[in-house]
Amino acid sequence: MASRVFTHVLRLIERDAFPRTRKWAWRGLYDTLSRFWRDGDWRFMNYGYAPETPFALNPEDEPERVFIGLYHQAVDGLPIAGARVLEIGSGRGGGARYVARYFAPASVVGLDYSPATVARAERLNADTPGLTFRQGDAERLPFPDGSFDIVVNIESSHCYADVPAFAREAARVLAPGGWFTFADMRAKSMAADLDQKLAASGLEQVFAKNISAGVVRALDAAEARKRANMIKLPVARRFMTEFSGAQGSILYKELKKGGVVYLARRFRKAG
């Protein structure tokens, strides 16, 4: 049953059907997960990325390596030291925490649509100086023009009702010369449409890559940990197998054979 439901959801996303309803449903799902999945060490809600060349991490962060990897590929090489950073769709805050701890920004703000998730992120990451969280809508950002030097968006845009509006908002809150770094998955048939929607930002695209192979490597590396967590939720185990991209799930199979692609993009604002 869970596999059929998840397949149906993927098909709705592929057709871009019922965008407002999907946005409401995603918020409800993440609110529920934040209330009932209370693991103190679960700061990440992404599928991860394992590059072919490992990057440096502190020993205490090694258990989260594959999830941090998706953020590392997004920000590596960007001028973050002393910058004002915004993550749109920050979830439980692990990615924003990584940026705040490793790259010496002036500040990091994590924004998420789900109030329960924002509250959870604040509790999980209270130990990180310069990091704050705020509830808000990616399509109507609650910040003035030019508020940030770096905007990060990881595995969140598939929940949005209006991706062009989000792209325009990301550009609006960027200061001249600022960077917008993006990563998310789509059905292969939707990849060109996604790029067209992101182009609504008016920003210059400077980097584009299909990172699906590295995401599959990350899913494989995280398999044992996911299965261990699922034991705690026997009633929802079938659903969480699909939602988490565990081996054998629809998403895992589609990523592996290329029906779903995971795309990384970087843009820069003139200035």
| pLDDT band with cut points at 50, 70 and 90 for residue 6 | very low
pTM of the model: 0.86
pLDDT tens digits, one per residue of 81-113: 999 999 999 999 999 999 999 999 999 999 999
- What structural domains and CATH numbers belong to the chain? 2-268 (3.40.50.150)
pLDDT of residue 234: 53
Greatest CA separation for the chain: 53
Distance CA 67, CA 44 (A): 7
- Asked if the model's pLDDT at residue 220 lies above 50, the reply is yes
- Asked if the model's pLDDT at residue 231 lies above 90, the reply is no
pLDDT of residue 225: 75
Q: Is 93 exposed, middle or buried (0-12, 13-18, 19+ CB in 10 A)?
A: buried
pLDDT tens digits, one per residue of 195-213: 999 999 999 999 999 999 9
pLDDT of residue 165: 97
3-state class (DSSP) for residue 88 = strand
Retrieve residue 160's tokens: 């949005």
CB neighbour list of residue 267: distance below 8 Å, 6 or more residues apart: 171, 179, 180, 181, 182, 198, 201, 203, 204, 205, 206
| pLDDT band with cut points at 50, 70 and 90 for residue 3 | very low
- Cβ-contact 103, 80 below 8 angstroms: yes
Distance CA 262, CA 156 (A): 12
Rg (CA), the chain: 17
What's the whole-number average pLDDT of the chain?
Answer: 86
What is the rounded average pLDDT of the residues 221-228? 76
Distance CA 235, CA 94 (A): 27
pLDDT of residue 223: 83
